[in-house]
Amino acid sequence: MQSINPLSGSIDKSIVRIASTPGLGLTNHRSSPNRLTVKCVDSTKAGRTRHEWQSCCAVLASKVASQQQDSKKIDGGITGVATVNGHQTLDLVPINGAVAKSPFALPKPLSISDFSAVPLHGSQLRVAYQGVPGAYSEAAAGKAYPNCEPIPCDQFEVAFQAVEIWIADRAVLPVENSLGGSIHRNYDLLLRHRLHIVGEVQLPVHHCLLALPGVRMEHITRIISHPQALSQCENTLTKMGLNASREAVDDTAGAAEYIATNNLRNTAAIASARAAELYGLQTLAKGIQDDSSNVTRFVILSREPIIPRMDRPFKTSIVFAQEKGTNILFKVLSSFAFRNINLTKIESRPHRNLPIRVEDGGAKQFEYLFYVDFEASMAEERAQNALAEVEEFTSFLRVLGSYPMDMTPWRPDMEE
């Protein structure tokens, strides 16, 4: 038997008794040569309180240097688990024994790194986009982050949600086209979700007319594609003399995939040259967009904003609702004009929470939210002063992001 000094934690030779507390005894039972099971016995009849007994047990427990856990069970219990007053407690092991992990240790709390470790410099960054492989949005994601892992989504809102729940690190979504105009759906989603714009990509769009191998132009009776692509090629298709109906689908590459999957020999798709390669289609015509200067602007979305800088051209996007009154919109826009801040876009969308305002006399006015892009960084004092003035004339103001402008040169006659 061995004696344990509760004040020093040292192991002496035989049994066990705490000299400072005569009423507290320790008895030991060996279940194996290296295992010591300890039990506290309260033999105090008078003069000692239960509080002192508990204090002594606490002193003893604080001196335990390590504990050991066996996977085997003996007599229906866990081998070597000590008991104090009939309850399981920490093990005592010899000081020179191996240090084992406590079986009662709590699991490590989850952290952000358990959900997603965001890579650096775009390496294997997970980027969500709407569409299927071969879509122009995938090309935009590759331009923004050349080494990224693209994640296709069937809807714009799914791409927003993929970033919010850490499935993706970024989302690249179109907001406007030089021929087709704004993609209103994504402007509405920018307000509904709490993601931040951290960059933009301007991608030249080169449409191709695709069909199954062996199909000739005169066999085409139907053309399918995204509504924007159909509108961007309408004049060219008319000049080609195609007597074919137009049908809208969710995205351009999806149209090519649909033809290949269903072996549709009377249908053509408007999509990219990459979509033709991916889905085994032939190209009947290249560059069928009505204007060679066909560019789509995409925004890059993230859970966290970036820090605005002044060492390169920046753009800032905001959304606001104007206060009641006259000439409010003029006053808001004047806040930028007086500071020589160039506006690159202004877009109005219905105010869904308050679509109609009833004025004095019963007149009804539509309420709008205004989206504005301007060329300035929020790190600049003039931009900060402009927004401070804008806030005086608005009932709602939100900065969607301040981010670097895409200054990449491009040629309309060259594909990416």
The answer to whether residue 385 is domain-embedded is yes
Give the CATH number for residue 232: 3.40.190.10
Domain carrying residue 271: 208-288
CB 147 within 8 A of CB 268: no
Q: Which residue in 236, 296, 316, 394 is the catalytic one?
A: 296
DSSP H/E element including 34: none
Distance separating alpha carbons of residues 40 and 32, to the nearest angstrom: 20
Q: Are residues 101 and 13 in the same domain?
A: yes
With vertex at residue 129, the alpha carbon angle to CA 223 and CA 278, rounded to the nearest 5 degrees, is: 50
137 in a structural domain: no
- Domain membership of residue 214 (yes or no) is yes
Same domain, 196 and 234: no
Dihedral sign computed on CA atoms, order 40, 42, 47, 52: positive
The CA distance from 254 to 249, in Å, is 8
Please list the alpha-helical segments (H only) found in 323-402: 328-337, 381-392
The number of folded domains in the chain is 3
Contact between 201 and 143 (Cβ < 8 Å): yes
Distances in whole angstroms, Cα of residue 185 to Cα of each of 140, 149, 350 = 18, 25, 12
Judge if 244 and 352 occupy the same domain.
no
The domain that contains 337 carries what CATH number?
3.30.70.260
Asked if residue 71 is part of any domain, the answer here is yes
33, two tokens? 């040569």
Q: Which two tokens stand for residue 155?
A: 């809807």
323 and 252 within one domain? no
CA distance 81 to 70: 9
Q: Assess whether 190 and 278 both reside in one domain.
A: no
Residue-level pLDDT at 323: 76
Same domain (yes/no): 14, 100: yes
Residues 1 and 51 in one domain: yes
Whole-model pTM: value is 0.68
d(CA 128, CA 160): 8
Q: Which of 156, 298, 314, 320 is catalytic?
A: 298
Residues 392, 360 within the same domain:
yes
Tell me if 32 sits within 8 A of 46, measured CB to CB: no
Sign of CA dihedral 94, 99, 103, 109: positive
Based on the residue annotation, tell me whether 366 is a catalytic residue of this protein. Answer: no
Q: Tokens in use for 341?
A: 């801040």
> Which of 337, 361, 366, 336 has the alpha carbon at shortest distance from 349?
366
List the pLDDT tens digit at each of the 416 positions of the chain.
Answer: 444 444 444 444 333 443 444 444 444 444 444 444 444 444 444 444 555 555 555 544 444 444 444 444 444 444 444 444 444 433 333 444 444 444 444 444 444 344 444 444 445 899 999 999 999 999 999 999 998 999 999 899 999 999 999 999 999 999 999 888 899 999 999 999 999 999 999 999 999 999 999 999 999 999 999 998 999 999 999 999 888 999 999 889 999 999 999 999 999 999 999 999 999 999 999 999 998 888 999 999 999 999 999 999 999 999 998 877 667 889 999 999 999 999 999 998 887 766 555 555 555 567 889 999 999 999 999 999 999 999 999 989 999 999 999 988 765 554 44
83 is catalytic: no
User: Residues 6 or more apart from 314 whose CB is under 8 A from it?
Assistant: 308, 375, 376, 377, 378, 379, 402, 403, 404, 405
Question: 397 and 302: one domain?
Answer: yes
Residue 120 lies in a domain: no
| Nearest partner of 228 among 244, 214, 207, judged by Cα | 207
